[in-house]
């Protein structure tokens, strides 16, 4: 059941790309069904839902991944059933309590955001949050065994079901108005969570038995889960706070309520949907890295931790940088193709938001890896403190810049860069020499990506239709991999060596 970081990350990256494809296929027609104003409302509700989902599930999932891998490393498997029982009780009590609050105060929350059409969608939280919490528990336990495959499969099931049911419900209910259309999209998300939970429940059946908890198990669990629960919610909270304030802040910049909502929909629903694609890579690597670092940390293998992090960073950087740069290069040509009825006169703004957002995405990816290591090594309170500090400066930056008529909506990517930079700097200071990065592994992909960008932009200046974009992607990929051939050869040799070693081990056994 034990997998390497590379294998686990690869499984999650593949599933992540599949999920993103379905997510993009979901978002594109949904934007056309709901209109750009409707997708703005959808994103406002989604930011609150993401905050609450992260609060009830992310901390528990990461805690279980860390605690279970650590217990395995020490041979304390008797604790696993206790962790499982505590996680179920904690998650269900927390998620049901928050879900009921949202159901009761749904109209007040929607009114505070300035979008009463979101009221019905907030009522669904009473069911959405407990389902998401249970999914987080099951995924955390399975990942603690360094097995990422069930998580990957459940993510694909979730996205495919959301695509089918979310669009269907949104289309059918949108005939009754924007509020019902947004509600239909979230109803599809509800159905997708049910299917994912059923699959994970089958995987978990009989794997770990619920057991009574002794004082040591309770202490270890709550020592991890409380700070990680709040830590995992900090960044989504800052995004939710952003969604609540942004329309009012942009009004200070002289924008109408409708234009402000449209620009937020452009930033979060159009640019964000495409630009967050590369984060599949960093999130997958971080998820696979956490239990491995925790396992090595429990064994006291410091050099092993350094080696694993270096390899994980190399994988992430090699794949992420060309993807971010490539998206920026083709964005001005691809937006009118995939959002013909939406972008309109906002194309230049969308392109500029993509450039600024690209820098934020790279910082976010690095932050995810560093946060993963902090949690794996048991630095729970530091992770929480750094996230709070970053979120504080993000919100301050947003309030300061969004009211400026020349900056307005660009304050969002700028504030995100401030958030991720602060967390990265603080984490690097705390982790010290554990974070070791090779200059060559950074420089070659970076230079190659810049050359790729220039080649793609030149190509698109002659041919910018759908075939031009497709051919530019192919040419860009070839350019990047040819320039990075030394690294491609090195990584390829390492993969073949591992495959050969596994065959030898199997024959020996």
pLDDT tens for the chain, residues 1 to 509: 344 566 677 777 787 778 777 776 777 788 778 877 777 788 778 878 887 888 888 888 888 888 888 888 888 777 888 888 888 889 999 999 999 998 888 888 777 767 677 788 888 888 999 999 999 999 988 888 878 888 889 989 998 998 888 888 888 888 887 778 888 888 999 999 999 999 998 888 767 766 666 778 888 888 888 888 888 778 878 887 887 788 888 888 888 887 887 888 788 777 887 888 888 888 888 878 888 888 888 888 888 888 888 888 988 899 999 999 999 999 888 888 877 765 567 888 888 999 999 999 999 999 999 998 998 888 889 999 999 999 999 999 999 999 888 888 899 999 999 999 999 999 999 998 888 888 888 999 999 999 999 999 999 988 878 888 999 999 999 999 999 998 888 877 766 666 666 666 555 55
| d(C-alpha 241, C-alpha 314), whole Å | 34
pLDDT at 3: 47
pLDDT of residue 65: 85
Angstrom distance (rounded) from CA 146 to CA 209: 19
- Distance between CA 130 and CA 321 in Å, rounded? 36
Question: What's the gap between Cα 295 and its chain centre?
Answer: 24
Structure tokens belonging to residue 481: 């991999």
H helix intervals, 299-346: 302-338
232 near 55, Cβ under 8 Å?
yes
- Tokens representing residue 437 in the block: 């990065």
Task: For the chain, count helices (H), then strands (E).
Answer: 19, 0
Q: Which residues contact 194 (CB under 8 A, 6 or more apart)?
A: 131
Mark out the alpha helices in 339-465 (DSSP H runs).
347-376, 380-402, 411-431, 439-462
Cα-based distances in Å from 370 to 225, 380, 435? 18, 12, 8
- Report yes or no: 327 and 274 within 8 Å, Cβ to Cβ: yes
DSSP string, 231-247: HHHHHHHHHHHHHHHHH
Q: Is 276 helix (H, G, I), strand (E, B) or coil?
A: coil
DSSP 8-state secondary structure symbol assigned to residue 98: H
DSSP-based three-state secondary structure for 504: helix
The model's pTM is: 0.79
Identify whether the C-beta of residue 333 lies closer than 8 Å to the C-beta of residue 460. Answer: yes
Chain Cα centroid distance, residue 234: 14
What pLDDT was estimated at residue 451?
A: 96
Please state, in angstroms and rounded to a whole number, the distance separating the CA atoms of residues 131 and 97: 13
């Amino acid at each position: 059941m034990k997998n390497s970081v590379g294998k686990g990350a690869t499984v999650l990256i593949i599933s992540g790309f599949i999920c993103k494809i379905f997510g993009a296929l979901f978002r594109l027609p949904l934007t056309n069904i709901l209109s750009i104003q409707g997708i703005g409302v959808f994103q406002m509700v989604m930011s609150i839902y993401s905050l609450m989902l992260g609060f009830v599930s992310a901390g528990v999932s990461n805690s279980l991944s860390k605690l279970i891998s650590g217990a395995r490393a020490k041979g304390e498997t008797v604790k696993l059933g206790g962790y499982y029982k505590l996680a179920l009780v904690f998650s269900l009590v927390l998620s049901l309590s928050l879900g009921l609050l949202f159901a009761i105060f749904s109209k007040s929350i929607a009114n505070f955001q300035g979008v009463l059409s979101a009221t019905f969608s907030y009522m669904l939280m009473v069911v959405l949050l407990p389902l998401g919490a249970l999914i987080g528990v099951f995924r955390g336990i399975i990942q603690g065994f360094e097995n990422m495959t069930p998580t990957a499969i459940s993510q694909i099931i979730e996205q495919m079901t959301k695509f089918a049911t979310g669009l269907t419900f949104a289309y059918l209910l949108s005939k009754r108005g924007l509020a019902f259309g947004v509600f239909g999209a979230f109803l599809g998300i509800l159905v997708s969570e049910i299917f994912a939970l059923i699959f994970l429940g089958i995987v978990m059946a009989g794997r770990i038995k619920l057991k009574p908890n002794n004082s040591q198990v309770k202490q270890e669990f709550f020592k991890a889960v409380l700070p990680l629960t709040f830590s995992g919610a900090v960044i989504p909270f800052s995004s939710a706070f952003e969604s609540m304030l942004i329309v009012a802040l942009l009004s200070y910049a002289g924008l109408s309520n409708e234009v402000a909502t449209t620009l937020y929909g452009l930033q979060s629903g159009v640019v964000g949907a495409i630009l967050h694609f590369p984060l599949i890579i960093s999130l997958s690597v971080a998820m696979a890295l956490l239990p491995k670092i925790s396992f090595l940390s429990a064994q006291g293998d410091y050099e092993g931790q350094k080696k694993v992090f270096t390899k994980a960073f190399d994988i992430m950087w090699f794949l992420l940088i060309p993807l971010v740069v490539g998206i920026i290069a083709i964005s001005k040509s691809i937006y009118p193709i995939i959002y013909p009825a939406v972008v309109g006169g906002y194309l230049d703004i969308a392109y500029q938001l993509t450039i600024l957002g690209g820098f934020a995405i790279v910082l976010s990816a690095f932050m995810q890896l560093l946060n993963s290591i902090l949690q794996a090594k048991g630095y729970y309170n530091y992770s929480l403190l750094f996230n709070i500090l970053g979120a504080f400066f993000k919100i301050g930056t947003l309030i300061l810049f969004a009211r400026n008529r020349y900056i307005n909506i660009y304050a969002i990517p700028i504030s995100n860069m401030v958030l991720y930079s602060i967390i990265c700097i603080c984490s690097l200071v705390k982790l010290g020499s554990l974070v070791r990065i090779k200059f060559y592994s950074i420089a070659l992909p970076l230079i190659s990506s810049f050359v790729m960008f220039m080649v793609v932009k030149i190509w698109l200046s002659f041919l910018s239709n759908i075939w031009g974009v497709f051919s530019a992607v192919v040419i860009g990929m070839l350019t990047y991999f040819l320039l990075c051939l030394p690294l491609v050869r090195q990584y390829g040799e390492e993969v073949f060596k591992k495959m050969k070693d596994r065959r030898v081990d199997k024959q020996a056994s």
